[in-house]
């Protein structure tokens, strides 16, 4: 595990217990705002990011900190992830679910150095499931090393995100997959999608939007578990916003087949 694993895990659990879970199904109307059309933010997102920022600054004072909500106010902050040692924070991934009082949602953190993802943490506060991976060190769920595996059933399972695309585009992508895959609904929560791919629940996830806080922790986790993650053109994931789309899969073979179907 990464040398900072114990400290980061303890911080995430503490913030979940003191900030996030007390607000779950306990939000007043004025505590839920629309920061952009269709994108919600809650008081818990902002308070959790503040607490995580303070804690990570103490763990590694030399690293810059890039939080989703801070980037909403200053989008230029994300560029620092490509040029420095940086913590990337998604204080509540799946805010729409959280605001509606429904799981799944999670807390996600990645450590990046010169654009390379070194470690990731994905915590489900409801299930108390901590996923962690360190580059070259394997992937773990609650301390037990895991290896990505394909789901059971006559056909592999695929989920195609609706985010950042038109209804027509989404329908066309679903059509391309329906003969080879059993189509599953995708929860709007990367903190849930990546563990599903590693734990034999799902086989392929197709994303159009590739924001660094949504994907960096999951990319290193699934990659270290032996799964597949790449942009639609087959290039490795980077969080600089230059790559289009993302395919994540439980096996490299399914990842490559999904890429073929996407453009076939």
The ranges assigned to domains in the chain are: 5-146, 157-263
Those residues whose C-beta lies under 8 Å from the C-beta of residue 105, and which sit 6 or more positions away, are: 92, 93, 94, 95, 97, 98, 124, 125, 126, 189, 191, 192
Reading the block at residue 125, the tokens are: 């506060």
Tell me which residues of the chain have a pLDDT lower than 50: none
* Cα–Cα distance, 17 to 36 (Å, whole number): 28
The answer on whether 90 is annotated among ligand-binding residues is yes
Please give the pLDDT value at position 19: 98
Query: Omega into 104 within 30° of 0, i.e. cis?
Result: yes
The answer on whether 93 is annotated among ligand-binding residues is yes
Predicted TM-score (pTM) of this structure = 0.96
Q: 3-state SS of the chain: helix, strand, coil percent to 5? A: 40, 25, 35
The answer on whether 92 is annotated among ligand-binding residues is yes
Please give the pLDDT value at position 145: 98
| Domain 157-263 listed as CATH 3.40.50.970 | no
* Cα–Cα distance, 207 to 209 (Å, whole number): 6
What CATH architecture applies to the domain 5-146? Answer: 2-Layer Sandwich (3.30)
């Amino acid at each position: 595990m990464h040398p900072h694993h114990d400290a980061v895990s303890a911080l995430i659990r503490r913030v979940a217990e003191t900030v996030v879970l007390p607000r779950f199904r306990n939000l007043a109307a004025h505590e839920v705002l629309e920061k952009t059309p269709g994108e919600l933010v809650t008081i818990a997102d902002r308070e959790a990011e503040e607490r995580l920022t303070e804690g990570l600054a103490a763990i590694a004072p030399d690293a810059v900190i890039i939080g989703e909500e801070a980037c909403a106010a200053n989008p230029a902050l994300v560029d620092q992830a490509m040029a420095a040692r940086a913590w990337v924070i998604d204080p509540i991934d799946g805010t729409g679910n959280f605001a509606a009082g429904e799981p799944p949602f999670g807390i996600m953190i990645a450590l990046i150095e010169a654009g390379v993802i070194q470690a990731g943490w994905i915590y489900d506060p409801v299930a108390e499931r901590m996923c962690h991976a360190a580059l070259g060190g394997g992937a773990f769920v609650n301390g037990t090393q895991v290896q990505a595996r394909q789901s059971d059933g006559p056909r592999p399972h695929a989920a195609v995100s609706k985010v950042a695309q038109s209804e027509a585009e989404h329908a066309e992508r679903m059509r391309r997959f329906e003969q080879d895959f059993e189509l599953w609904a995708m929860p709007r929560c990367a903190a849930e999608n990546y563990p599903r791919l590693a734990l034999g629940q799902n086989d392929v996830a197709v994303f159009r939007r590739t924001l660094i806080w949504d994907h960096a922790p999951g990319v290193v986790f699934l990659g270290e578990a032996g799964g597949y993650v790449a942009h639609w053109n087959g290039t490795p994931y980077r969080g600089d916003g230059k790559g289009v789309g993302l395919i994540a899969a439980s096996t490299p073979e399914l990842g490559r087949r999904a890429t073929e179907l996407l453009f076939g």
